């Protein structure tokens, strides 16, 4: 069993990963500044697992704060979720994004090096791919930075690749997530976006719970099955388990390697909306509107590398994702508040 430092562990993906880590018997230290999360999520993680974790409130941009974590706790592996993730915001405040995501990442790496901890799992994103056509995206297709957010992910990936190349002590996993949705089966933890959601799934569940009037479908003239955008939605618990597989793969391995974390199946916006209505029995008011800037028609993973090399296999269907997203939202209509 390993002792795992989870940066950003109070957030959406981090909290679900903490549940799986604790359930598998690992020790967990969460480091989070709570800028986009709350301690209640961690209380619920502990309640669900009947295990305790250590929480340290701090910011990855401040070296002394991270150094302190490594001197207070024995750490074997770092899972690095902490960062900012809103594309629009990244266009308005690029410096803030570079500061948290790139400078913060660099500070974390320096602290790791000092503490002689060389195993890292990094949260990357499928947004770095230059998605052209509807071909499943393999890890080796061209990458392209389309906005400041994706640029921070790309820079960090490239920095990690160079570090691992120069120093053979490093063992790094780059996990490129497709579209994480869903929630823990219990409905006790889930996605809790601040303000108006940018992403499709929380928008649909907020319409269903009465917090929003109707869904705007961004674009209905794409070259897809029904004209609406197609994405590879992945259940957050499957995604959390991919981190456990990556952890097993990286302990004892060397170098830096990227893996796609998606199901390999695409669903259109209309298919998601219609399936949500079928699964929950709740009609979703909607309007067809124009395309959203920066969107692609189709984004779908070729996940064969993760399946063969990590021994990871996604378990959940789109219907599971919708049912679990709704279960979380209806139990927590205002999120953790």
- The binding site for ligand NAD (CB under 6 A) comprises 8, 10-14, 32-37, 59-61, 81-85, 100, 104, 123, 125, 177, 180
CA angle 119, 25, 175 (to 5 degrees): 40
Residues 221-238 as b/e (b if ≥16 CB within 10 A, e otherwise) read ebebeebbbbbbbbbbbb
Lay out the site mask for ligand UD1 across 174-203 (x = CB under 6 A, - = otherwise): -----x------------------xxx--x
Nearest to 33 by CA among 5, 64, 11: 11
Determine the Cα–Cα distance for residues 94 and 106; give it in Å rounded to an integer.
17
Copy the structure tokens of residue 214. Answer: 């109707």
Shortest distance (Å) from residue 203 CB to ligand UD1: 4
How do beta strands 230-231 and 286-289 pair? unpaired
Binding to ligand UD1 in span 267-296, by CB under 6 A: 269, 292, 294-295
When CB distances are held under 5 to 8 angstroms depending on the partner's kind, the choice from ligand NAD, ligand UD1, none that residue 217 binds is ligand UD1
When CB distances are held under 5 to 8 angstroms depending on the partner's kind, the choice from ligand NAD, ligand UD1, none that residue 284 binds is none
Nearest to 301 by CA among 122, 141, 80: 141
When CB distances are held under 5 to 8 angstroms depending on the partner's kind, the choice from ligand UD1, ligand NAD, none that residue 35 binds is ligand NAD
Residues near 104 by beta carbon (within 8 Å), at least 6 away in sequence: 59, 60, 61, 82, 83
Nearer to ligand NAD, 87 or 288 (CB): 87
- Is 235 a binding residue for ligand UD1 by CB under 6 A? The answer is no
Determine the Cα–Cα distance for residues 18 and 23; give it in Å rounded to an integer.
8
When CB distances are held under 5 to 8 angstroms depending on the partner's kind, the choice from ligand UD1, ligand NAD, none that residue 26 binds is none
Nearest to 206 by CA among 119, 302, 286, 117: 286
Lay out the site mask for ligand UD1 across 93-132 (x = CB under 6 A, - = otherwise): --------------------------------x-x-----
Shortest distance (Å) from residue 182 CB to ligand UD1: 13
Q: Which of 149, 151, 203, 222 is catalytic?
A: 149
- Is 23 a binding residue for ligand UD1 by CB under 6 A? The answer is no
Nearer to ligand NAD, 59 or 320 (CB): 59
Catalytic annotation present for 203:
no
Helix ranges (DSSP H) in 167-250 = 200-208, 236-250
Shortest distance (Å) from residue 221 CB to ligand UD1: 12
DSSP string for residues in 154-170:
HHHHHHHHHHHHH-TT-
Residues near 99 by beta carbon (within 8 Å), at least 6 away in sequence: 61
- Is 87 a binding residue for ligand UD1 by CB under 6 A? The answer is yes
Q: Where are the extended beta strands (E) located within the chain?
A: 3-7, 27-32, 54-57, 77-80, 119-125, 171-177, 179-181, 215-218, 230-231, 233-235, 255-261, 267-268, 286-289, 298-299
Stretch that binds ligand UD1, among 18-26, 68-76, 130-138, 210-218 (CB under 6 A): 210-218
When CB distances are held under 5 to 8 angstroms depending on the partner's kind, the choice from ligand UD1, ligand NAD, none that residue 18 binds is none
When CB distances are held under 5 to 8 angstroms depending on the partner's kind, the choice from ligand UD1, ligand NAD, none that residue 8 binds is ligand NAD
Shortest distance (Å) from residue 187 CB to ligand NAD: 17
**Catalytic annotation, residues:** 149
- Residues lying near ligand UD1 in the complex (CB under 6 A) are found at 85, 87, 125, 127, 179, 198-200, 203, 215-219, 229, 231, 269, 292, 294-295, 299
């Amino acid at each position: 069993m390993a002792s795992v430092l989870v940066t950003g562990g109070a957030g959406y993906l981090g909290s679900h990963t903490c549940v799986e880590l604790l359930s598998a018997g690992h020790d967990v230290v969460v480091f989070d500044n709570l800028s986009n999360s709350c301690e209640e999520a961690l209380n619920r993680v502990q309640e669900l697992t009947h295990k305790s974790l250590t929480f340290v409130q701090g910011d990855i941009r401040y070296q002394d704060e991270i150094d302190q974590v490594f001197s207070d706790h024995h750490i074997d592996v770092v899972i690095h979720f902490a960062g900012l993730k809103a594309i629009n915001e990244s266009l308005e405040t690029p410096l803030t994004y570079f500061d948290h995501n790139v400078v913060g990442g660099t500070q974390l790496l320096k602290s790791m090096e000092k503490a002689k901890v060389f195993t890292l799992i990094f949260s990357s994103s499928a947004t770095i791919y230059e998605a052209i056509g509807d071909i499943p995206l393999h890890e080796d297709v061209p990458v392209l930075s389309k906005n400041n957010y994706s640029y921070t992910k790309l820079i960090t990936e490239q920095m990690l690749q160079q570090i691992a190349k120069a120093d053979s002590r490093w063992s790094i996993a780059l996990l490129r997530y497709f579209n994480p949705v869903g929630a823990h089966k219990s409905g006790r933890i889930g996605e809790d976006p601040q303000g108006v959601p940018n992403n499709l799934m929380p928008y649909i569940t907020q319409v269903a719970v009465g917090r929003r009037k109707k869904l705007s479908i961004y674009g209905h003239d794409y070259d897809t099955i029904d004209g609406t955008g197609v994405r590879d939605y992945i259940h957050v618990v499957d995604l959390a388990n991919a981190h456990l597989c990556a952890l097993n793969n990286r302990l004892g391995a060397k170098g830096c390697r990227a893996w796609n974390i998606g199901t390999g199946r695409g669903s259109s916006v209309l298919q998601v909306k219609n399936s949500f209505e079928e699964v929950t029995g709740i009609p979703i008011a909607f309007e067809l509107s124009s395309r959203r800037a920066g969107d692609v028609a189709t984004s779908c993973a070729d996940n064969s590398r993760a399946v063969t090399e990590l021994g990871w296999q996604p378990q959940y269907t789109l219907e599971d994702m919708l049912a679990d997203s709704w279960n979380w939202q209806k139990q927590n209509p205002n999120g953790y508040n």
